Structure 1
């Protein structure tokens, strides 16, 4: 009987958290997101983050996440910025890889495009439109999707 009650309580708590999570999401204003908002969302899922500015004065987030014992460094660029709110973000990572596989990647993968900038450097980019609104959960999900894409990209395209 005790096991059944404990199991029922744990199940009820898990279901409650599942349905409550979207309710806990913080909505961002229409018109986009700020560098600090993105940085806070990335920190909340365990990424190391710092915020700066790009050459045009728009926000730029430098971040990393761990895959095993390896830290993967990446950047988040901001586009369409007005009064510190930007209507799109772009996750970006660069690594050494086999550039002969870039076309196949782009033909067979959905969430990130790849290109080569020289004989060995491959870039993966993933764009997210946030102009009509976003929230913490949506940004965190996009970061987790990017992380998965990077792991796939390094596995497929890496040397």
Structure 2
């Protein structure tokens, strides 16, 4: 379920002007509940799916950790995780324009790192660009998935807590 508290003032303003109810993705042609996200690292793409399997929206040119090939295993490795996760909360006030927390590390991620005496890291988000800065070129995050600010506004308004996220190579 989309959390109404997570709709931005920008999207709310557009929704009120357009007559669209809050939480229905202002600027998105077909506002539907999003039931799954697929992040394809190599394709640099996020696809949002409805329960029916229909594509709700596709976002291209995403930015990843500075070491984009391979799964995240340890804190500071610069990699974006791969696996099955969930959006577990939104963070409206962060160093980036809106942020949706991805539930990394999973139990398996923790066990992998612990077996090697390492910290798996954490704080993986789908977020907009750094506040007060232009979009950096290339892959630059510490493991997060970055999109432009308009894209995160739409994603924020469509994706609720507990939404599954599959991150694939």
Fold equivalence (TM over 0.5): no
* Higher fraction of helix: 1
* Higher fraction of strand: 1
Structure with bigger RCO (C-alpha 8 Å, 6+ apart): 2
* Bigger-Rg structure (1/2): 1
Q: Give TM-score scaled by structure 2 length.
A: 0.26
